[in-house]
Chains A and B, each alone.
Chain A
Amino acid sequence: NAGVTQTPKFQVLKTGQSMTLQCAQDMNHEYMSWYRQDPGMGLRLIHYSVGAGITDQGEVPNGYNVSRSTTEDFPLRLLSAAPSQTSVYFCASSSGGGSGGNTIYFGEGSWLTVV
């Protein structure tokens, strides 16, 4: 069971560079999200998607872009990397329907350092 797969695991970027963090899930989940984790701040929502072709902003969307062309994939793009974007990034997915108590499943994380 692959679940939620993120690549790369580790990346070092120079300020101003752009890159894409890849995320794929094989559970046919409707909902996908990107979070960033910073020390002492828990996880904060960057962007999310409720289905192919539909995305929306979360709590900290500035400097990031997303698209959802397929159910399986939800890439996160850093447009012009800044040191403040040094963080651990987690992709997550969950199924739709039900009362809203569906479990969210997380990938293994992508450690990004911007120098």
Chain B
Amino acid sequence: AQSVAQPEDQVNVAEGNPLTVKCTYSVSGNPYLFWYVQYPNRGLQFLLKYITGDNLVKGSYGFEAEFNKSQTSFHLKKPSALVSDSALYFCAVRAPGGSQGNLIFGKGTKLSVKP
């Protein structure tokens, strides 16, 4: 069965420091991987995705993620955190052959960036 794990419920970072939000996945075949961000009382906003090719994917708002097939991970990173990055972050996966309308989501990681 396909699954996504976000092992940290919350990540705390000081402004200006690098941040990492972890994600591991379990699917058969080569996965399609996504990161979304949710601000309070808002919908999910697309950040970036990995389909194929370069393992380092760059996305919106200075975020990037690294696909690691051997570790089945897709960690989200940013070199210098901003207070405005504080939000709920979701990792999601779609297996090859799965319906293009559907994703399997992790439980989310709350990122808190302090001044």
A contact set with B: CB distance below 8 Å: 4, 30-33, 35, 40-45, 48-50, 56, 58, 90, 92-96, 98-109, 111
Contacts and interface: CB of A to CB of B under 8 A. Distances in A.
B97 A100 contact: yes
Contacts of B51: 99, 101
Contacts of B36: 106
20 contacts: A4-B43, A30-B101, A42-B90, A43-B44, A43-B92, A44-B105, A45-B102, A48-B99, A49-B101, A50-B99, A90-B43, A95-B100, A96-B100, A100-B32, A101-B51, A101-B94, A104-B101, A106-B45, A109-B41, A111-B41
A50 B108 contact: no
Interface of B: 4, 9, 32, 34, 36, 41-46, 49, 51-52, 90, 92, 94, 96-103, 105-108
Q: Which of B42, B94, B103 has the most CB of A within 10 A?
A: B103
A94 B100 contact: yes
Contact of A43 (B9, B32, B52, B105): B105
Contacts of A104: 34, 46, 101, 103
Contacts of A106: 36, 43-45
A94 B108 contact: no
Contacts of A111: 41
A101 B98 CA distance: 10
A41 B107 CA distance: 5
A94 to B, nearest CB: 6
Contacts of B45: 106
A40 B108 CA distance: 7
Given A42-B107, A103-B34, A106-B45, 7 more contacts: A35-B105, A42-B108, A45-B102, A48-B101, A102-B100, A106-B44, A108-B43
A111 B90 CA distance: 19
Q: In this complex, which of A31, A93, A104, A108 has the most chain B Cβ atoms within 10 angstroms of its Cβ?
A: A104
B32 A105 contact: no
B106 A42 contact: yes
